[in-house]
C-alpha cells in the first residue's frame, strides 16, 4: 500500500492549460484518484471533462454525488456546485453559498479532503486570481498531508499560488511543467 490515497487540485484563471500540463503526462495506471475544483462560469454547462479528457490517459468525468473515488480517475466539480469528500471517501455536492466568491470553491474541496484522507493526501494549488485554496492547503498540511504549489513565476495568474506561499503552507514550490514528475515521484516513493 502506497503512502497516499488521493490527490486534490485547485485552480482558477489559466486553469485549463495548467490542468492539461499536470494531467496529460500522467500514466493510465496512475494509482490515485484525482479530485479537481476549477473555478468556472456557473452556466458553462460542464464542458471541462470533455476538453481535459481529450488528451489525458486518465478517465476524466464530472463528479457525481455518492460516487466512490477510484484510482486513475479524475473527478471535476460541476459548475455552480461545491465538491466535497465524505469520510467514507465518496463524493458529495452542495449548493451552499459561494466561498471566496467561488462555487465550486477550492477551500471547500481541500478542507473536506483533509478531514477524509488525513496524512494520505496530496494537495496541489495552481494558477488563479484570488486566494481560494490557501486555507484549504493549510488544513491539508495541518492534517499531515503534502502540499505542492505551482511556482507563481510559471502561473498565468499569480495571486492564488502566491497566497499559499504567503501563509507558508507549501512543502514544494514547483514549476508547472515539473509538477507531473514530482507527483509521480511521490507516488513511486510511497509504493517502493
Hey, which residues between 20 and 59 contact another protein (CB under 8 A)?
Answer: none
Candidate list 8, 19, 58, 108; residue touching another protein; CB under 8 A: 108
Query: Exposed, middle or buried: residue 59 (CB in 10 Å: 0-12, 13-18, 19+)?
Result: middle
68 binds another protein (CB under 8 A): no
Q: Considering CB under 8 A, how many residues would be counted as binding another protein?
A: 26
Candidate list 18, 23, 111, 124; residue touching another protein; CB under 8 A: 111
Query: In 3D, which of 116, 122, 109, 131 has the Cα closest to residue 185?
Result: 122
Q: Per the residue annotation, which of 5, 39, 40, 82 is the catalytic one?
A: 39
Pseudo-torsion of CA 141, 63, 87, 148, nearest 10°?
A: -10
Classify 21 as helix, strand or coil.
helix
Query: In 3D, which of 129, 192, 109, 125 has the Cα closest to residue 165?
Result: 125
Candidate list 8, 11, 85, 170; residue touching another protein; CB under 8 A: 85
**Which stretches of the chain bind another protein, using CB under 8 A?**
64-66, 78, 81-82, 84-87, 92-97, 108, 111-112, 114-116, 118, 142-144
Amino acid at each position: 500500500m502506497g503512502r497516499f490515497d488521493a490527490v486534490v487540485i485547485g485552480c482558477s484563471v489559466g486553469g485549463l492549460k495548467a490542468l492539461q500540463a499536470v494531467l496529460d503526462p500522467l500514466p493510465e495506471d496512475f494509482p490515485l484518484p484525482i479530485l479537481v475544483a476549477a473555478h468556472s462560469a456557473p452556466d458553462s454547462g460542464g464542458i471541462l471533462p470533455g476538453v481535459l479528457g481529450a488528451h489525458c490517459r486518465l478517465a476524466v468525468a464530472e463528479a457525481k454525488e455518492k460516487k466512490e473515488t477510484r484510482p486513475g480517475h479524475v473527478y471535476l466539480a460541476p459548475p455552480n456546485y461545491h465538491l466535497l469528500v465524505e469520510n467514507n471517501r465518496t463524493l458529495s455536492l452542495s449548493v451552499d453559498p459561494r466561498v471566496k466568491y467561488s462555487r465550486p470553491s477550492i477551500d471547500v474541496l481541500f478542507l473536506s479532503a483533509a478531514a477524509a484522507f488525513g496524512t494520505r493526501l496530496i494537495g496541489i494549488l495552481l494558477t488563479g486570481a484570488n486566494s481560494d485554496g490557501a486555507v484549504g492547503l493549510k488544513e491539508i498540511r495541518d492534517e499531515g498531508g503534502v502540499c505542492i504549489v505551482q511556482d507563481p513565476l510559471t502561473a498565468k495568474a499569480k495571486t492564488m499560488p502566491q497566497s499559499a506561499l504567503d501563509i507558508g503552507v507549501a512543502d514544494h514550490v514547483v514549476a508547472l511543467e515539473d509538477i507531473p514528475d514530482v507527483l509521480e515521484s511521490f507516488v513511486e516513493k510511497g509504493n517502493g
